[in-house]
Amino acid sequence: MRTLRAAILIACVLAAWQALFAFAGASALTSPRDTIAYAAELLSSPGFYPHLIETAQAFAVALAIAISCGILIGFTLGLYRFAADVGEPVLVALYSIPKITLYPIVLLAFGIGMPAKIAFGAIHGIMPIAIFALGAARNLNPVYLKAARVMRLPPSRIAARVLLPAAIPEIFTGIRIGFSLTLIGTLLGEMFASQRGIGHLLIQAIGLHNVRMIMALTLLLVVVAVTASALLLAVDRRLRRHMFGAP
């Protein structure tokens, strides 16, 4: 049933794409068939891989930073009332400003290259993860903490063995959202002042009006993001069913 629905959805997207192609013409976009063919060609050309690896590396590091810092910030704010009173409005304000406005500062701070991309990816991903971790820590059932204290666990173990596992489903939701934002951030970081990476290829193709390249890269990014999102959602559902018996 679920596979059928997914197939219908994909068919609709392809049909709409084809229709748009018929309407707008080859100067604006390429047809689904051409795009898929060119994407396959890109994937089989050795010149493409350094860019792919560059982006994958930047993204992986950025995501790791976003997850660890996000959880740390979220837990700190969730557990200490004073920190939350001060930090939460700041967090929400940071979440709502367009991160692109910070880009010049990031560039000046980290210089051109890998560190700037990573930093820009990470600042996109940290916020949602921190906000979900904060919610999880704040909503932690107090009886779990009491039970852990009665079993004489030191605070560090309580954080690792009780707070973290109890918060996993909510953190995972944060990671699911943080994942796509980190990817966006990393690509944005590559689009300016960068020599390599998918984002760099994209902005170069835009400059050269290379529609095939733009479309093929977009398709590849969509496939990666949708697949990752679906996987994370499946894990998310599993965790929730496991712990809360949610359907």
Partner 1 sequence: MSEVHVALRGVTRVFPATAAQREVRALGPIDLDLMRGEFFVVVGPSGCGKSTLLEIIAGLNRPTEGAVTLEGNPVAGEVPEGIGVVFQEDASFPWLTVTDNIAFGLRQTALDKAEIATRVDHALRLMGLTDFAAAYPVQLSGGMRQRVCLARTLVQRPRVILLDEPFGALDQQTRFLMGDELLRLWRDSGATVMLITHSLDEAGMLADRIGVMSARPGRMLEIIETRWGEERGSRVVATPRFGEITARLWQLLRDESQRAMAGA
CA-based radius of gyration for the chain: 21
Per CB under 8 A, which region of 45-53, 118-126, 164-172, 196-204 contacts partner 1? 164-172
Q: Does 244 bind partner 1 (CB under 8 A)?
A: yes
Give the one residue of 6, 20, 147, 231 binding partner 1; rule: CB under 8 A.
147
Q: Which is nearer to partner 1, 166 or 203 (CB)?
A: 166
Q: Which is nearer to partner 1, 29 or 140 (CB)?
A: 140
| CA 30 to chain CA centroid, nearest Å | 27
Distance in angstroms (rounded) separating the CA atoms of residues 181 and 126: 9
CA distances from 14 to 111, 118, 211 (A): 41, 33, 18
Q: What type of residue sits at position 82?
A: F
Distance in angstroms (rounded) separating the CA atoms of residues 245 and 247: 6
CB within 8 A of 87, min separation 6: which ones? 73, 76, 77
Give the one residue of 46, 98, 207, 245 binding partner 1; rule: CB under 8 A.
245
- How deeply is 4 buried, as exposed, middle or buried, from its count of CB atoms within 10 A (0-12, 13-18, 19+)? exposed
Q: How far is the CB of 99 from partner 1 (least distance, A)?
A: 33
Give the one residue of 2, 5, 152, 209 binding partner 1; rule: CB under 8 A.
152
Per CB under 8 A, which region of 39-47, 53-61, 82-90, 239-247 contacts partner 1? 239-247
Return the sign of the alpha-carbon dihedral for residues 206, 209, 213, 215: positive
Q: Which is nearer to partner 1, 33 or 146 (CB)?
A: 146
Q: Does 238 bind partner 1 (CB under 8 A)?
A: no
Q: Does 166 bind partner 1 (CB under 8 A)?
A: yes
Q: Does 71 bind partner 1 (CB under 8 A)?
A: no
CA distances from 225 to 19, 67, 185, 204 (A): 24, 17, 13, 22
Per CB under 8 A, which region of 26-34, 78-86, 161-169, 225-233 contacts partner 1? 161-169
Footprint of partner 1 on 114-143 (CB under 8 A): 141, 143
Q: Does 195 bind partner 1 (CB under 8 A)?
A: no
Q: Does 156 bind partner 1 (CB under 8 A)?
A: no
Give the one residue of 88, 144, 159, 177 binding partner 1; rule: CB under 8 A.
144
Distance in angstroms (rounded) separating the CA atoms of residues 227 and 130: 24
Give the one residue of 153, 177, 193, 228 binding partner 1; rule: CB under 8 A.
153
Q: Where are the alpha helices (DSSP H) in 25-140?
A: 32-44, 49-79, 81-96, 103-110, 114-138
What is the contact surface with partner 1 in residues (CB under 8 A)? 141, 143-144, 146-147, 149-153, 157, 161-162, 165-166, 168, 242-245
